[in-house]
Amino acid sequence: MAGTDEPQGIVAIAAIPSWTTEGVLATAAAGARFLVLDAIQDPGNAGTMVRTAAALGVTATLLLPGTVDIWNAKVVRGAMGALFTHPTLTVTSETVRAFLQRAEAVCWVADAAGQPIDDVPPATGRLALVVGNEGQGPSDASRALADRLVAVPIDPSVESLNAAVAAGILLHATRVR
């Protein structure tokens, strides 16, 4: 029943949760954080990002077109149960734009050419962090949402970070304390 050579020995049948942007907004605190995945294609990255978002108190994760199916077996394994408790919604770019407006959230987009997150004043209200595709970075539609481009400062001898690692660092830096 498992799709791996050495499964963990647990199999479950569960209903797929159904969340809406309206429901997410109704429960979002004044300093809520949202994660937006922009065409994240690697299932391991997507699962890790959802799990990390849940661990760091992110209110919801929104999945833009081109992002791997969130119920892909590798995503589910990587999320380690977070998909059943952390609101995760597949949406369009226009839905994200409308959601951010209704939420009165600022939008920071992760980009290697962005301002180092260490130099950015903390966001005090609601904040959405967009993490783009592993190879191409954020889409033009996501860049158009950006109030600010942010980056993880890394040693110049290293070309880039894994998208899930970068997301984790940025989410940690932007968490509400």
What CATH number does the domain containing 98 carry?
A: 3.40.1280.10
Q: Confidence class of residue 90 from pLDDT cuts 50, 70 and 90?
A: very high
Please tell me the predicted confidence (pLDDT) of residue 2: 61
Domain count, the chain: 1
Please tell me the predicted confidence (pLDDT) of residue 6: 75
Question: Does 4 score more than 80 pLDDT?
Answer: no
Show the domain range for 111: 32-174
Pick the more confident residue, 134 or 11.
134
Quote the pTM value: 0.94
Strand order in the sheet with 33-37: 88-90, 60-63, 33-37, 127-131, 106-116, 148-151
In a domain, 166, yes or no: yes
Radius of gyration (C-alpha) of the chain in whole angstroms: 16
Check if the beta carbon of residue 35 is closer than 8 Å to that of residue 131: yes
